[in-house]
Amino acid sequence: MRPDILNPLFAEIEVLKGVGPQVSKTLKRLDLTRVVDVLYHLPTGSIERIQAPAASSALLGRNVILELTPFETRESRSGRGPMRVFASDSNGNAISLIYFNNPGWAKRQLPMGQKRIVSGKLESYGDEWQIIHPEVAEAGKGPAPALREPVYPLTEGLTNRRMGELAREALERAPELPEWVEPSLLSSEAWRPWRASLAEAHQEPGTESARKRLAYDEIFANQLALLLLRQSQRRHRTPPLAGTGELIRRVQLPYQMTDAQRRVIREIRGDLIQAAPMLRLLQGDVGSGKTLVALAAMLTAVESGAQAALLAPTEILARQHHATLLGQVDSLGVRVAILTGREKGKARESVMMGLADGSIDILVGTHAIFQEKVAYKTLGLAVIDEQHRFGVSQRLLLSSKAEHPPHLLVMTATPIPRTLTLTQYGEMDVSRIDEMPPGRTPVETRVISEEKLSDVVNGLGRHISAGGQAYWVCPLVEESEKSDAAAAEERARVLKQRFGDHKIGLVHGRMKGPDKDAVMARFASGDLAVLVATTVIEVGVDVPNATLMVVEGAERFGLAQLHQLRGRVGRGSGKSTCLLIRGPNLTEVGRARLSLMRESNDGFRIAEEDLRLRGPGEILGTRQSGEEAFRVARPEDVAALAPVAQSDAQLLLDRDGGLKGERGQAARTCLYLFERDQAIDLIRSG
Whether residue 402 is found in the same domain as residue 380: yes
- Residue 300 sits in the same domain as residue 393: yes
Is the pTM value of this prediction over 0.75? no
- Give the total residue count for the chain: 686
Q: Per the domain annotation, does 156 fall within a domain?
A: no
Q: How far is Cα 109 from Cα 87, in angstroms, rounded to an integer?
A: 13
Residues of the chain by 3-state class (helix, strand, coil), percent to 5: 45, 20, 35
Q: How many domains does the chain divide into?
A: 3
Find the distance separating the first CA and the last CA of the chain, reported in whole Å: 12
Q: Are 255 and 393 found together in one domain?
A: yes
How does strand 407-412 pair with strand 279-284? Answer: parallel
Q: Which of 134, 151, 168 is the last residue of a domain?
A: 151
Residue 584 lies in a domain: yes
Residues 488, 456 share a domain: yes
Give the residue ranges of the chain where pLDDT is below 50.
478-481, 539, 617-628
Q: Is residue 103 part of a domain?
A: yes
Q: Looking at residue 285, what is its pLDDT? A: 81
The model's pLDDT over 25-63, given as tens digits with 9 standing for 90+, comes to 999 999 999 999 999 999 999 989 999 999 999 999 999
pLDDT at residue 628 in the model? 46
- Cα–Cα distance between 219 and 213 in angstroms, integer? 10
| Residue 193, domain member (yes or no) | no
Residue at 300 is within a domain: yes
- Give the contacts of 584 (CB within 8 A, at least 6 positions apart): 449, 450, 451
Query: Does residue 469 belong to any structural domain of this protein?
Result: yes
The amino acid at 156: E
Which CATH number is 331's domain given?
Answer: 3.40.50.300
CATH assignment at residue 124: 2.40.50.140
- Does residue 182 sit within a domain? no
Choose the final residue of a domain: 408, 433, 458.
433
Dist CA 385 CA 374 (whole Å): 19
**Are residues 251 and 307 located together in one domain of the fold?**
yes
Do both 451 and 418 map to the same domain? Answer: no
SS (H, E, C) 329-380: HHHHCCCEEEECCCCCHHHHHHHHHHHHHCCCCEEEECHHHHCCCCCCCCEE
Within a domain: residue 281? Answer: yes
CA dist., res. 252 & res. 256, Å (int):
10
Q: Between the CA of residue 535 and those of 395, 532, 538, what are the distances in Å?
A: 24, 10, 5
DSSP-derived pairing of the beta strands 148-151 and 307-311? unpaired
Say how many CA atoms lie within 13 Å of 166 toward its Cβ: 32
Q: Do both 463 and 486 map to the same domain?
A: yes
Tell me, yes or no, whether 96 and 118 share the same domain.
yes
Sheet with 307-311: strands ordered across: 336-339, 362-365, 307-311, 379-384, 407-412, 279-284, 429-433
Residues 413 and 482 placed together within one structural domain of the fold: no
Last residue of a domain, one of 433, 465, 499: 433
Contact 219/422 with Cβ under 8 angstroms?
no
Q: What pLDDT does residue 480 have?
A: 47
> In terms of domains, do 561 and 536 share one?
yes
Q: Are 86 and 96 in contact (CB under 8 A)?
A: yes
Does residue 393 share a domain with residue 515?
no
Residue 463 belongs to domain spanning: 444-600
Same domain, 300 and 429: yes
